[in-house]
Chains A and B, each alone.
Chain A
Amino acid sequence: MSAHRSVAGGGERLSLAVVGATRKLWSGNVAVAEGALAAGVDFYAGYPITPSSAIMEHLARELPKRGGTFLQAEDEIASVFMLIGASWAGGRALTATSGPGFSLMQEGLGIAIMTETPLVVVDVMRLGPGTGQASKAGQGDLMQARWGRHGDQHLVVYAPTSAQDCFDLAVRAVNTAERLRVPVVLLSDELVAHTWEDVAVPEEVHRAERPRFAGEGLPFHSDDPRIAPPMPGLGEGHGVLMTGSTHDGRGVRFTADPFVHRTLATRLVDKVRLNADALAVGEEHGLADAEVGVVAYGSMARSAVAARELLRPQGVRLGVVVPKTLWPLPEEPIRRLAERARAIVVPELALGQLVLDVERIAAGRCPVYGVGKIGGGLPLFPSEIAARVREVVR
């Protein structure tokens, strides 16, 4: 299930002999739904929204066949809170949405972070703000995925570049949510979601289990912040005290105590922050001899890798870093690229979001240039990225 097997971007063809997998022709959305099923998702509540609805429709058909539960909610707020309820009742819960619905889900995501509730929200990005262009690709939700909630908080964000990634990262998202008791965002985009391509489905998929409370320890305290506390199930006689307000290790609400709040909020942030290395997945292309670099994610990673192929015959050695964990962002490969390259270009279907991180991580080692393009769902074509790279390397 490692991400480097991906067909996407790398141009490395999967070998059937190596993988021992079934091959499917799936769209990114179908691959997300199938990845969720493979990871053991048994609860979906959601609200239709373009361009994510195919995930919902696929699971509306498939979940009831497998003993799972599917419900169309009255809105995205209800969807995510139904997930919270189902997760505490022992379910593996996932929903999918797009920008406007993702905005509504921020409230529930904040409660899920505070209550350490495992769940996955898939955001298939379209163009915003507002209702924007509903069926057109964009990458403007990156910062919202990370920071959309009020208060000090972290969650985990993954971003697929291909249908294969959609399957692999849906599994990874569910497993990370369960293992760390943290909500996970799978940040897809319209181009990835609607592209039909080859997906290798492994015979066996590892399913991580959440740490379970059986009377030992405390359900909301862990001496090592990297390890999630054991989660009690409902109806097991534990007298679960779960609250979205500040609470101590037992779950008892403390609405004024400075120490209790500091302890809890710091541990919740550290749970994600201190696991950054373990959470990091991504790809590197040609970093060893790179004279110039690109950092790109999602569908734009595909254009970036294609641009590398365009530039090679022209004698330009382009190194590409493709982060597939967008939060916490894997910093080491970007730092390494910045040390080697004369400049880094950051192409994105947004007006400058990922570029801010790359500037921060490069920290002056080399100049960083953003190249943003929005509107109509047009991608940044490989030729456009290549042209910008030639300009900055000159």
Chain B
Amino acid sequence: MNHPLHRYLREEVLPGPFCPGCGNGLVLGALVRAIARAGHADLREFVFVSGIGCAAWIPSPHLKADSLHVAHGRAVPTAIGVKLRRPDLNVIVVGGDGDIAGIGGNHLVHAARRNADIVVLMVNNLVYGMTGGQVGPATPHGLPTSTTPYGNPEQPMDTAAVVAAAGANYAARWTVAHPRRLEEAIYTALGRTGFRFVEALSQCPARVGGRLKVEPAAFLNWLKLRSVPLGEAGEDAVGERFTVGEYTARDRPGLGETLAGLRPKGGRDE
């Protein structure tokens, strides 16, 4: 294997565990291309943190980097602990919609409010994939799942908008059918400070496609056809159509900077 991006991967664990047609490989590709483009020859200055779910396996163990694989929903606070103690490292969380926006939703909102200096890459495959395709916080209204066999009665969370409203420096949503845009968003996130959130809408051929009898390629096209640029979508975030684009891009001071600015007089750092 001589692909130039393989230097970021643990080749001994390839091929990965993901289902044929899964979008996680596209997300992994966008992530390492963005890192390569940012000029990092290896991942020594990165720590990846993930929780539980298919997307949490993107960094652990596939990336040739330090990775902490913790409990469902708890990657964000774990990452904040790492970053506070080692501000010199780039700390990136990778997780699914259930992990990040569902069980970890409270941590996500408060990490954005604090503008904690981490990147969160959320792979939104519309369901809890690893456990069998149950309804999740970002499942479109009406979509049948294994726990909503007659259709999802609830509305999906517009997670990128929530994160932007909570105070994050950067929030964007693209789909894996927009690999260039997705890579660009991750690259932009890597170049900023504060809390940065990139959502990648992705196909789950096993748990959504299987139920709907949709082939992965058709699923990708479905994501692409339903995507509408931010500003043209009206209220429809992740319902009938998927809003894509940058929800916010600003430069408020991150948590590390604000903490450092509030040390006591006479402290060790002065």
A interface with B by C-beta (< 8 Å): 43, 45, 61, 64-67, 69, 71, 73-75, 77-79, 81-91, 93, 107-108, 110-111, 115, 234-235, 237-245, 251-253
Taking A64-B264, A78-B107 as contacts, is the C-beta distance between A242 and B80 under 8 angstroms? Answer: no
Q: Which of these, B60, B78, B107, contacts A241 with CB under 8 Å?
A: B60
Q: Which 5 A-B residue pairs are closest in the complex by CB-CB distance?
A: A85-B81, A89-B85, A82-B81, A78-B77, A243-B69
Enumerate B84-129 residues with CB–CB distance to A below 8 Å: 84-86, 88-89, 106-107, 110
Residue pair B64, A245 in contact (C-beta under 8 Å)? no
CA distance A81 to B107 in the complex (A): 11
**Are B107 and A84 closer than 8 Å at their CB atoms?**
no
> Could you tell me if B267 and A111 are in contact, using CB atoms closer than 8 angstroms?
no
30 contacts between A and B (CB under 8 A): A45-B77, A65-B263, A66-B268, A71-B80, A73-B110, A77-B107, A78-B106, A78-B110, A81-B77, A82-B77, A82-B80, A83-B81, A85-B68, A85-B77, A85-B80, A85-B84, A93-B81, A234-B66, A234-B82, A234-B89, A235-B89, A237-B44, A238-B66, A240-B66, A240-B68, A241-B69, A242-B67, A242-B68, A242-B69, A244-B69
B interface vs A, CB < 8 Å?
10, 13, 44-45, 47, 49, 60-61, 64-71, 74, 76-86, 88-89, 106-107, 110, 259, 262-264, 266-269
B84 cross-chain contacts in A, Cβ below 8 A: 43, 69, 71, 82, 85-86, 89
Most buried by A among B65, B71, B110: B71
- The answer to whether B268 touches A65 (Cβ under 8 A) is yes
Q: Judge whether B107 and A88 touch: CB under 8 Å.
A: no
- Chain A residues near B61 (CB-CB < 8 A): 241, 251-253
With contact pairs A65-B266, A245-B69 given, residues A234 and B78 touching in the complex (Cβ less than 8 Å): no
B62 shortest CB reach to chain A, Å: 11
In the docked arrangement, what's the CA distance between A244 and B52, Å? 10
A251 to B45, CA, bound (A): 20
Contacting residue for B71 out of A85, A108, A240, CB 8 A? A108
Task: Check B86–A108 contact: CB distance below 8 A.
Answer: no
Cα–Cα distance between A83 and B70 once the two chains are bound (Å): 12
A66-B267, A89-B85, A239-B10 known; 13 new pairs, CB 8 Å cut-off, are A43-B85, A69-B85, A69-B259, A77-B107, A78-B76, A82-B80, A82-B84, A86-B84, A110-B71, A235-B45, A235-B88, A241-B69, A242-B67
Bound-complex Cα distance A69 to B81 (A): 10
Question: Closest residue to A61 on the B side, CB-wise?
Answer: B264
- B106:A85 contact, CB within 8 angstroms: no
Could you tell me the distance in whole angstroms from the C-beta of B84 to the nearest C-beta in chain A?
Answer: 5
Chain A residues with CB below 8 A from B81, complex form? 43, 45, 81-89, 91, 93
Q: Contact between A243 and B85 (Cβ–Cβ < 8 Å)?
A: no
Contact between A244 and B264, CB atoms less than 8 A apart: no
Expressed in whole angstroms, the minimum distance between the Cβ of A241 and any Cβ of chain B is 5
A36 to chain B, nearest CB (A): 16
Provide the main secondary structure of the chain A interface. Answer: mixed
Q: Report the bound CA distance from A93 to B81 in whole Å.
A: 10
A43 partner residues in chain B, CB cutoff 8 A: 81, 84-85
Question: With the chains together, A66 CA to B133 CA distance in Å?
Answer: 49
Which residues of B have CB within 8 Å of A245? 69
In the complex, what distance in Å separates the CA atom of A81 from the CA atom of B268? 27
With a cutoff of 8 Å between Cβ atoms, the chain B residues found around residue A238 in the complex are 66
A239 to B269, CA, bound (A): 31
User: Chain A residue with minimal CB distance to B67?
Assistant: A241
In Å, the complex CA distance between A110 and B264 comes to 35
Question: Which of B44, B67, B70 has most chain A Cβ within 10 Å?
Answer: B70
Whether A85 touches B78, Cβ cut-off 8 Å, given contacts A235-B44, A235-B89, A243-B69, is yes
Contact B60 A253 (CB under 8 A): yes
Contact (Cβ within 8 A) B267 A75: no
CB distance from A67 to the nearest CB of B (A): 4
Whether A89 and B267, one on each chain, are in contact in the complex, defined by CB atoms closer than 8 angstroms, is no
**B110 touching A88 by the CB < 8 A rule?**
no
Q: With a CB–CB cut-off of 8 A, which chain B residues contact A78?
A: 74, 76-77, 80, 106-107, 110
The residue that B70 contacts in the complex, of A61, A81, A90, A240, with Cβ under 8 A, is A81
Distance between B155 CB and nearest chain A CB, rounded to angstroms: 24
Query: How long is the Cα–Cα vector from A62 to B263 in the complex, in angstroms?
Result: 10
B107 engages A74 (CB within 8 Å): yes
Chain B residues with CB under 8 Å of A115's CB are 68, 70
